[in-house]
Chain A
Amino acid sequence: MNPVISRPLCGLLFTLLVIGLVPASAAEEPAYEESDFLNRVRRLTFEGRRAGEGYFSPDGNQLVFQSERYEGNPFFQIYLMDMMTGESRLVSPGPGKTTCAFIRPGAGDILFGSTHHDPESEALQRAELEARAAGEEKRYSWDYDPEMEIWVAAGDGSGLTRLTDVRGYDAEGSYSPDGEWIVFSSMRDAYNRELTEEEIKILEVNPAYFAEIYLMRADGTDQRRLTDAPGYDGGPFFSTDGSKIVWRRFDEEGLTADVWTMNVDGTDQYRVTDFGAMSWAPYEHPSGEYIFFASNKLGFSNFEVYIVDAAGLKEPVQVTYTDGFDGLPVPSPDGSKLVWTSTRHQGEGGQLYMGDWNHEAALEALERSPQRERPE
Chain B
Amino acid sequence: MKERVNLRAICALAVLLAATPAIGATGSLESYVTYLTSDELEGRLTGSGGERMAADFIAGQLGELGAEPLPGQEEFKIPFEFTAGTNDGGTTLALKAAEVEREWSSVDSVQALSFSDNASVTGGVVFAGYGLVLPESQDFFYDSYTGLDVEGKIVLALRYFPEDMDQESRSKLARYSGLRYKALQARERGAKALLVVAGPRSPNAGEIVPMTFDTAVSGSGIIAASISGAVADQLFEHVADKTLEQAQASLDDGNPHVTGFEIPGFELTLDVKVERERRTGYNVVGMLAGTDPGGSDKPYVLLGAHYDHLGRGKNGNSLARAEEVGGIHYGADDNASGTAALLEAGARLVGMEHKRNVVLAFWSGEELGLLGSSAFLNGPDDEALLAVDTTAGYVNMDMVGRMKDNRLTVQAIGSSSVWPRLIEQSNVPVGFDIQTMEDPYLPTDSTAFNTASVPTLNLFTGSHEDYHRPSDTAEKINYEDLARVAQFGALVTYRLANMDQAPDFVNVTPKRQEGGSRDTLRAFTGTIPDYTTEVEGLRLSGVIEGGPAAEAGLQEGDIIVGFAGQEITNIYDYTYALEVVKIGEPVAVVFMREGERHEVTMTPTARD
Contacts and interface: CB of A to CB of B under 8 A. Distances in A.
Contacts of B421: 46-47
Interface in A148-177: none
A46 B406 contact: no
Contacts of A14: 437, 534-535, 538, 569-571
B428 A83 contact: yes
A83 B428 CA distance: 6
A64 interface: no
A19 B537 contact: yes
B16 A2 contact: no
Contact of A10 (B512, B569, B596): B512
B334 A8 contact: no
Given A4-B317, A5-B370, A85 B595 contact: no
A293 to B, nearest CB: 23
Given A9-B510, A13-B439, A42 B406 contact: yes
Interface string B560-574: 000000000111100
Nearest to A22: B595
Given A16-B536, A45-B424, A2 B441 contact: no
Interface string A341-358: 000011000000010000
B434 A42 contact: yes
B433 interface: yes
Interface string B351-372: 0000000000000001101100
B429 to A, nearest CB: 6
Nearest to A63: B428
Nearest to B426: A86
A336 interface: no
A85 B429 contact: yes
A42 B317 contact: no
A376 B428 CA distance: 45
Chain B interface SS verdict (over half): loop
B177 to A, nearest CB: 12
Interface string A32-75: 00010001111111111000000000000000000000000000
A172 to B, nearest CB: 26
Contact of B468 (A3, A45, A47): A3
B15 A4 contact: no
B473 interface: no
Contacts of B516: 8
Contacts of B228: none
Interface residues of B, number: 74
B423 A4 contact: no
A375 to B, nearest CB: 34
A6 interface: yes
Most chain B CB atoms below 10 A, which of A1, A24, A48:
A1
Interface stretch (B81-89, B113-121, B193-201, B442-450): B442-450
Given A8-B516, A15-B437, A44-B424, A2 B366 contact: yes
B447 A5 contact: yes
Contacts of B460: 1
Contacts of A84: 15-16, 19, 429
The residue in A12, A13, A24, A84 that gathers the most chain B C-beta atoms within 10 A of its C-beta is A13
24 contacts: A2-B367, A3-B443, A3-B468, A4-B369, A8-B178, A8-B521, A11-B442, A12-B441, A12-B512, A13-B442, A13-B531, A13-B532, A14-B437, A15-B534, A16-B570, A19-B592, A41-B433, A47-B421, A85-B12, A85-B16, A85-B429, A86-B425, A86-B428, A354-B431
Interface of A: 1-20, 22-24, 26, 35, 39-48, 81-88, 345-346, 354
